Amino acid sequence: MGARSSPGAEETIHGPVADPGEGAVDCETSPVSTRPRTAAAVLSVLLAAPLLLAGCGEKEGTSEAGSSSAATQEPVSEGASESDAEEAPDESGADDGAPFLADTESDTETASADASVTVSDIRIGGHDGFDRVVFEVGGTGTPGWDVRYVDSASSQGSGDAIDVAGDAVLQVTLTGAGYPYDTGVEEYAGGPLTSAGTTVVTEVAWDATYEGTSVAFIGATTRYPFRVYALADPARVVVEVAHAAG
């Protein structure tokens, strides 16, 4: 006879009751022996019988309670972790299939009059025909920017040199910036960023916020054309560097 699966909720498998062994009490049978005994011995056994049966009743009740608890326990949804996973914010911005309208000249935009923002995150990634760098900001108003190629990278305020991997350096200056204690937004504090998925962007190095501006440097393999635009909800400034000279 082949192997059989475990019984279902209403299925019972019948079979011989195992020998409880010497000294054990089998709750499926009467604890009173039918062997002839003296009157005192029989009376002693009869008095002990209710206690033994009560013990068996408690054991069976405990087992049933455990089975009921296991049967009513709700299973964990297998798709919960996938449905609860946070989706990456939409950073499609410009149409990836459209012509890449860009050049190597500086790109500037004025911040709104009420702008006071702090860079909270920086992300990089490769796309079809260009590499993208995203600066997410929080605070009030809309940031402006000045993005241009420079001969070398240096920290604003101190003038100290900053090492950036690559043969070209694109300086990103965000205007309308505020310090964290003014905006209530925690400032990005990560180190240089790299990605195996990029083609021309070699590294992004964060500098600092100083007197209303925040600066970062994008390293590239050469001075390829770039474009800059803004996205909202959350507020972001996006820099895209083409994979070819155009």
Residue 115, pLDDT above cutoff 50: yes
Residue position matching structure tokens 């020998």: 19
Identify whether 192 is part of a domain.
Answer: yes
Question: Are residues 123 and 236 located together in one domain of the fold?
Answer: yes
Number of H helices, E strands in the chain: 3, 9
Question: Are residues 58 and 134 located together in one domain of the fold?
Answer: no
Q: Average pLDDT for residues 130-134, to the nearest whole number?
A: 98
Per-residue pLDDT tens over the stretch 216-225: 999 999 999 9
Local structure of 52: helix, strand or coil = helix
- Tell me what pLDDT residue 6 has: 40
Residue 150, pLDDT above cutoff 80: yes
| pTM of the shown model | 0.63
Identify whether 180 is part of a domain.
Answer: yes
Q: What is the CATH number of the domain that holds 189?
A: 2.60.40.3500
- Tell me what pLDDT residue 11 has: 38
Q: Which residues contact 110 (CB under 8 A, 6 or more apart)?
A: 144, 175
User: Distance between CA atoms of 1 and 12, rounded to whole angstroms?
Assistant: 18
Identify whether 56 is part of a domain.
Answer: yes
Question: Are residues 116 and 62 located together in one domain of the fold?
Answer: no
Specify burial of residue 121 (Cβ count, 10 A radius: 0-12, 13-18, 19+).
middle
Domain residue limits at 43: 35-66
Question: Are residues 130 and 232 located together in one domain of the fold?
Answer: yes
In 3D space, the residue among 150, 207, 201 whose CA is nearest the CA of residue 174 turns out to be: 207
Per-residue pLDDT tens over the stretch 219-243: 999 999 999 999 999 999 999 999 9
Question: Are residues 114 and 45 located together in one domain of the fold?
Answer: no
Question: Are residues 116 and 237 located together in one domain of the fold?
Answer: yes
Residue 86, pLDDT above cutoff 60: no
Question: Are residues 136 and 222 located together in one domain of the fold?
Answer: yes
Per-residue pLDDT tens over the stretch 29-45: 334 333 344 444 443 44
Question: Are residues 114 and 225 located together in one domain of the fold?
Answer: yes
Residue 240 φ/ψ region, left for φ over 0, alpha for ψ in the -120 to 50 degree band, beta for the rest? beta
Specify the number of domains making up the chain.
Answer: 2
Residue position matching structure tokens 């920017």: 145
Identify whether 23 is part of a domain.
Answer: no
Q: Are strands 201-210 and 144-150 parallel, antiparallel or unpaired?
A: unpaired
- Tell me what pLDDT residue 232 has: 95
Mean pLDDT score across all residues of the chain: 74
Question: Are residues 235 and 121 located together in one domain of the fold?
Answer: yes
